[in-house]
């Protein structure tokens, strides 16, 4: 939403976001990947002979922003791999969130740890569908969002996103 079409905060062009991050003024950033590996590298460039758009600003933002949260809705051996084919960006994330589970990152061991599994999925399923090794101990069930959080997401957040991502807002929230 930083680059929203109307009223975005930047007056110095698209470099201003990166300059803000370089100074430490961006606290949290979210990054996805065509592939994500067990060393928390992300790949936005190529996989299995297919070319993707490219790394965007990830190579800079990931190591520079203090809390980066990795996400990938598709949780499969195709997306969560032992080693990415191309390292677009490397860093130490705060967490990795998928459509099935939440992992934390152990900076000292440089390995993910499974924290919780979303309702409707099991730890065994997550182990089977993850291409990299990870640690786990007391795995819990991911807490469901509260009614207030859902109302916020389906109300003001959906509306704000619709202005720049109309197709996404239509698909996810049925907004027209």
Partner 1 sequence: MLVGMPPDYSMPAMEVVRELIRRKARNLRLLGVPVLGLCADMLIGAGCVAEVESSAVSLGEAGLAPRFSEAVEKNTIRMNDATCPAIHTALQATEKGVPFMPLGGVLGSDLVKGRKDWKVGPDPFSGRQFLLVKAIQPDVALFHARWADEAGNVWVGRRKELATIAHASKHTFVTVEEIREGDMLADELLAPGVISATYITGVARAERGAWPLGIADVYGIDDAHLALYAKAAKTREGFEQYLEEFVWSPRKSFSPASSPA
Positive or negative: CA dihedral 124, 128, 129, 131:
positive
C-alpha–C-alpha distance, residues 104 and 107, integer Å: 9
* Bridge-based pairing state of the strands 111-117 and 101-106: antiparallel
Residues 140-169 that bind partner 1 (CB under 8 A): 164-168
Smallest distance from the beta carbon of 145 to partner 1, in angstroms? 25
DSSP per-residue letters across 98-125: ESSEEEEEETTTTEEEEEEE-TT--HHH
Contact with partner 1 (CB under 8 A): which of 32, 69, 87, 111?
Answer: 87
Contact with partner 1 (CB under 8 A): which of 44, 70, 80, 101?
Answer: 44
Q: Is 174 in the site for partner 1 (CB under 8 A)?
A: no
Contact with partner 1 (CB under 8 A): which of 1, 25, 30, 63?
Answer: 63
Q: Is 27 in the site for partner 1 (CB under 8 A)?
A: no
Contact with partner 1 (CB under 8 A): which of 27, 51, 119, 148?
Answer: 51
Contact with partner 1 (CB under 8 A): which of 32, 64, 71, 173?
Answer: 64
Q: Is 20 in the site for partner 1 (CB under 8 A)?
A: no
- Note whether 45 and 119 are within 8 A (CB): no
C-alpha–C-alpha distance, residues 104 and 64, integer Å: 19
| 3-class DSSP state of 150 | helix
Specify the residue, 5 or 109, whose C-beta has the smaller distance to partner 1.
5
Q: Is 80 in the site for partner 1 (CB under 8 A)?
A: no
C-alpha–C-alpha distance, residues 160 and 154, integer Å: 10
How many residues are there in the chain?
Answer: 176
Which residues form the interface with partner 1 (CB under 8 A)? 3, 5-6, 10-16, 18-19, 22, 44-46, 49-64, 86-91, 164-168
């Amino acid at each position: 939403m930083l680059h929203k079409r109307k009223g975005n905060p930047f007056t110095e062009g698209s470099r201003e976001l990166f300059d803000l991050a370089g100074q430490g003024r961006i606290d949290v950033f979210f990054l996805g990947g065509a592939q994500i590996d067990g060393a928390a590298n992300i790949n936005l460039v190529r996989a299995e002979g297919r070319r993707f758009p490219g790394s965007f600003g990830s190579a800079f933002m990931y190591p520079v922003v203090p809390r980066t949260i990795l996400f990938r809705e598709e949780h499969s051996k195709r997306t969560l791999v032992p080693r990415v084919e191309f390292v677009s960006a490397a860093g130490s994330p705060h967490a990795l969130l998928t459509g099935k589970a939440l992992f934390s990152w152990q900076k000292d061991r440089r390995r993910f740890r499974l924290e919780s599994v979303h309702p409707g999925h099991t730890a065994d399923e997550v182990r089977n569908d993850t291409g990299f090794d990870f640690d786990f101990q007391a795995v819990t069930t991911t807490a469901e969002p509260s009614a207030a959080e859902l109302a916020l997401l389906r109300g003001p957040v959906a509306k704000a996103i619709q202005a720049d991502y109309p197709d996404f807002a239509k698909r996810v929230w049925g907004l027209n």
